[in-house]
Amino acid sequence: MSAPEGPLVVGVDSSTQSTKALVVDTSTGRVVASGQARHTVSTGAGRESDPRQWWDALGEALGQCGDAAREAAAVSIGGQQHGLVTLDADGEPVRPALLWNDVRSAPQARLLVEELGGPKAWAERAGSVPSASFTVTKWAWLAEHEPDAVRRTKAVRLPHDYLTERLTGQGTTDRGDASGTGWWSSGTESYDEEILARVGLDPALLPRVVRSGEVAGTVRGTEGLPFSKGTLVAAGTGDNAAAALGLGLRPGVPVMSLGTSGTVYAVSRHRPADPTGTVAGFADARGDWLPLACTLNCTLAVDRIAALLGLDREAVEPGTDVTLLPFLDGERTPNLPHASGLLYGLRHDTTAGQLLQAAYDGAVHSLLGALGLVLDEDADPAAPLLLIGGGSRGAAWQQTVRRLSGRPVQIPEARELVALGAAAQAAGLLTGEDPAAVARRWNTAAGPVLDPVERDDATLDRIAGVLSDTTPLVGRRPGSR
């Protein structure tokens, strides 16, 4: 392998299922080395992970990068959003982290919205109407169900904050990830003391919000990691904000990310405040905004349907009037936290491949339904929809998005965009550049553009009709009447 042309940086993506690390040449954007290690997630009453395994996975992924990681001059960590990490006085987890897709706090979310002014007030104040995914609702759930854990908690962190703090010894976060908590005000860009008081959370337990371009700290000790003591550590950010950096995203360009969850978002210069709660008014990692809609059920749910049918995930067949709503983990968009999957319109001649295609259609329908709310006046209606995430490489996902959106679709060739965005953030510390400009210099969004096809309005209308007619049934808690 040729020698790097500039300093090396490390970008990390600590996601729901695994940690990925990239060593990147700051001059060219070339990935010099990479590594990946898996996590485990509980599948019982909720969705939880022990944060210590994220740290172990980080060490394993960096170890796979070899000598290149030892030469890195800066590091940044992107991580899954919303997760509630509670630490004791020694910095050890009090209990497993409550993850973004743990929906047990749905009752607390409803109560918080009602008690603090309703959806419109929340949207204006915090930028988002909190659902069961948001950290503030998880803390409220913990206070109600595990008060002893709350009493033992001396620090509250998000997943990327936890890893950054173990590197630096300092409690920090960034505006992008903080904006997904529900206790950070997008209007004042500070923690909201009234919301914190309502859920009984002392602001002193929260991390300092680091500004874009500011050094969060330096590596305090190697702790078995291949970094030199004193290596610069950037603020890091949430996974969607990191992916936006990784694409070098300009305002108004739409993105659809197909992973464990599905998201649609775009950078905007206007602070979002959607009172319907469909669009989360997140901040980005720079100084703009990242209006975003998220579904809980995307590639994992569709793969589960394929497995139940005994099919390869690409074995779809056209020509179906079946509707399949793959809400296997509850759902966030639409806001049906207790939802289960629903199959409607099954007939004798329906094939397994058609059922699988219906699962793809149901997953994409939810995302496209929110896309129009995400985009604002900055949006270019002719701009290709950037398709990213693990599902973006699948032909069935690509063709379903094209058919149901009617838009051109671009598939960036760069992989691991969250880790690349973190790497661009780390590079910005060294060069003084805007991280998004770094990514554009690296040409990370380059890739083939698939021409638009005629939009399948019949399928969109059918799914919308079934969802409207069956929402009381779909959204019911399993076992209730």
Return d(Cα 451, Cα 453) in angstroms, integer: 7
pLDDT of the residue at 472: 65
What would the two tokens of residue 75 be? 């590091």
Give the count of alpha carbons within 13 A of 245, CB side only: 35
Q: Give the angle 424-428-432 at the CA atoms, nearest 5°.
A: 155
Q: What are the tens digits of pLDDT across the range 31-85?
A: 999 999 999 999 888 999 999 999 999 999 999 999 999 999 999 999 999 999 9
Tokens of residue 225, six digits: 């990691």
| pLDDT (average), residues 113-142 | 95
Q: Catalogue the active-site residues.
A: 239
Residue 440 has pLDDT above 80, yes or no: yes
259 vs 16, 61, 372, 405, 412, CA distance in Å? 10, 20, 20, 18, 15
Token code pair at residue 298: 């995307």
- Residue 476: what pLDDT? 60
Of the candidate ranges 152-156, 272-276, 310-314, 457-461, the one whose mean pLDDT is the lowest: 272-276
Could you give phi then psi for residue 403, rounded to 5 degrees? -65, -40
Residue of 371 and 224 predicted with greater confidence: 371
Work out the average pLDDT over 357-361.
97
Peptide bond into 159 cis (omega under 30): no
Residue 433 — φ and ψ, nearest 5°?
Answer: -85, 160
| Predicted confidence (pLDDT) per residue in 262-309, tens digit | 999 999 999 999 998 889 999 999 999 999 998 889 999 999 999 999
Q: Give residue-wise pLDDT tens across range 1-34.
A: 577 788 999 999 999 889 999 999 999 999 999 9
Looking at the DSSP bridge assignments, the partners of residue 75 are: 10, 233
Q: Mean of the pLDDT values across residues 460-481? A: 76
Q: What is the pLDDT of residue 373?
A: 85
Structural tokens at position 261: 């969850």
pLDDT at 475 over 80: no
Question: End-to-end CA distance of the chain, in Å?
Answer: 63
Please say whether the beta carbons of 435 and 427 come within 8 A. yes
For the stretch 334-354, pLDDT in tens is 888 888 999 999 999 999 999
Query: Across the strands, what pairs with 184?
Result: 191
Distance between CA atoms of 23 and 9, rounded to whole angstroms? Answer: 6
Q: Which two tokens stand for residue 372?
A: 């129009």
Task: Please tell me whether the peptide bond between 254 and the residue prior to it is cis, using omega within 30 degrees of 0.
Answer: no
Count H helices, E strands: the chain?
16, 24
Amino acid at 481: R
pLDDT on residue 377: 75
* Residue 96 DSSP symbol: P
Residue 66, CA distances (Å) to 25, 33, 151, 232 in order = 15, 8, 42, 19
Angle between helices 417-431 and 239-246 (to 10 degrees): 70
The mean pLDDT of the chain is 93
**Confidence class for position 376, pLDDT limits 50, 70, 90:** confident
Is the full-model pTM beyond 0.85? yes
Band (pLDDT 50/70/90 cuts) for residue 359 is: very high
pLDDT (mean) for 313-319: 95
Whether the per-residue pLDDT at 481 is higher than 60: the answer is no
Amino acid in the structure at residue 388: I
